[in-house]
Amino acid sequence: MRVMIFGATGALGRECAKQCIEAGHEVSVYLRSPEKLPGKIRKRVAVYQGDALDGDAVAHAIGDLASRNGQVSILFAIGIDKASPEDLCTTATRLIFESMRVHGLKRFVWCGGGSTLVAEDQITLGARFVDFFARTFMGLRHRDKLHQLELLAESQDLDWVGLRPLQMVSGPHRETYRIGFDQFSGMSRIHFADCAHGMIRMLSDDTWIHKAPIIQY
């Protein structure tokens, strides 16, 4: 499978790249700073340099990859920090979707956040605390993930699917975790490696198309 990863230099994105390579996928990455990509990964992927908010650069990268034989799927692992612009992920996703539609691409797998509650969630006290905490202390990130999820809900013509982790932390690759709409709280955890594993599974699994289940241990 041919995969393009957005956000490959972050902890989650690096795991996505590493595991995609190990799984035998043909991997391309789109990023601003190729030098931040570990050398072991960089030498085994095709690199497209650019800003995710640069529509022309995004269109060029996706168009170039799509012009070759075979279907291309997108893995979205862009992270947000305090210095990120408002709606970074939402705007980047919109630009990616525009190019996907031009070139007939369908599969988009993304990482959201557990603070963006959806209709299928079990709204427990723990879930309400997560929502309160995110709105109060993580406003920029919470708003962006919420707006990104709203954009996805409007994009039923694409085969998007995503995971919503709560606390993502470093740790070993277990490959044993839960995906679904189980109860969760602010203590629910997942390792970056296993979140990446779950995302890569969704490249070829249609179980959760147009859904955003929680991933946790």
Mean pLDDT of 77-83: 88
Which contacts (CB < 8 Å, 24+ apart) does range 116-119 have? 116/142, 116/145, 116/146, 116/149, 116/164, 116/212, 118/149, 118/164, 118/181, 118/212
- pLDDT confidence band for 137 (50 / 70 / 90): confident
- pLDDT confidence band for 82 (50 / 70 / 90): confident
Mean pLDDT of 124-132: 91
DSSP assigned state of 34: G
Helix axes 11-22, 192-201, angle to 10 degrees: 50
Yes or no: say if 89 and 149 are a contact pair by the CB < 8 Å rule.
no
**156-191 tens-digit pLDDT:** 999 999 999 999 999 999 989 999 999 999 999 999
Place of tokens 């990863």: 5
Identify the structural domains of the chain with CATH numbers, from first to last.
2-209 (3.40.50.720)
The two three-digit tokens of residue 122, written as one number:
């079990």
Yes or no: say if 96 and 57 are a contact pair by the CB < 8 Å rule.
no
Q: pTM here?
A: 0.94
**Other beta carbons within 10 Å of 25:** 19
Mean pLDDT of 1-22: 96
Q: What is the pLDDT of residue 105?
A: 96
- pLDDT confidence band for 136 (50 / 70 / 90): confident
* pLDDT over threshold 80, residue 70: no
The two three-digit tokens of residue 51, written as one number:
């800003």
Residue type, 130: V
Helix axes 139-153, 88-103, angle to 10 degrees: 20
- pLDDT confidence band for 134 (50 / 70 / 90): confident
